[in-house]
């Protein structure tokens, strides 16, 4: 599902890992069962990340990134709670 308004709101949050920002980049999470090969998740499955952490995710891969910074699903849950209390 696409929602430019939601993505703008996510970008205007501080990074969910470092607390730096805003602005941040809206990272569409990648997770088995939510996304497939070459498919983007819904805009509602996004988290705010600094550009550096966003690049690091795509360089390291999901498993390694989550070991270092926590579950993407947990970050999405917290992001949604912040935006829609």
pLDDT confidence bin for 30, thresholds 50/70/90: confident
Contacts for 20 with CB less than 8 Å, ≥ 6 apart: 14, 50
In a domain, 75, yes or no: no
Mean pLDDT within 42-50: 94
Q: 62 is in which domain, residue-wise? A: 4-32+39-70
pLDDT confidence bin for 71, thresholds 50/70/90: very high
67 has which bridge partners?
Answer: none
In a domain, 83, yes or no: no
**Cα four-point dihedral sign 8, 33, 80, 70:** negative
In a domain, 18, yes or no: yes
Mean pLDDT within 59-65: 93
In a domain, 11, yes or no: yes
Total domain count for the chain? 1
In a domain, 61, yes or no: yes
In a domain, 79, yes or no: no
In a domain, 85, yes or no: no
Contacts for 62 with CB less than 8 Å, ≥ 6 apart: 30, 31, 72
């Amino acid at each position: 599902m696409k929602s430019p308004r939601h993505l703008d709101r996510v970008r205007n949050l501080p990074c969910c890992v470092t607390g730096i920002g805003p602005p941040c980049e809206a990272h569409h999470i990648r997770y088995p069962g939510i996304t497939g090969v070459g498919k983007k998740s819904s805009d509602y499955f996004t988290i705010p990340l600094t550009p550096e952490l966003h690049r690091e995710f795509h360089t390291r891969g999901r498993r390694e990134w989550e070991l270092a910074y926590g579950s993407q699903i947990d970050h999405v849950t917290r992001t949604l709670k912040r935006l829609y209390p």
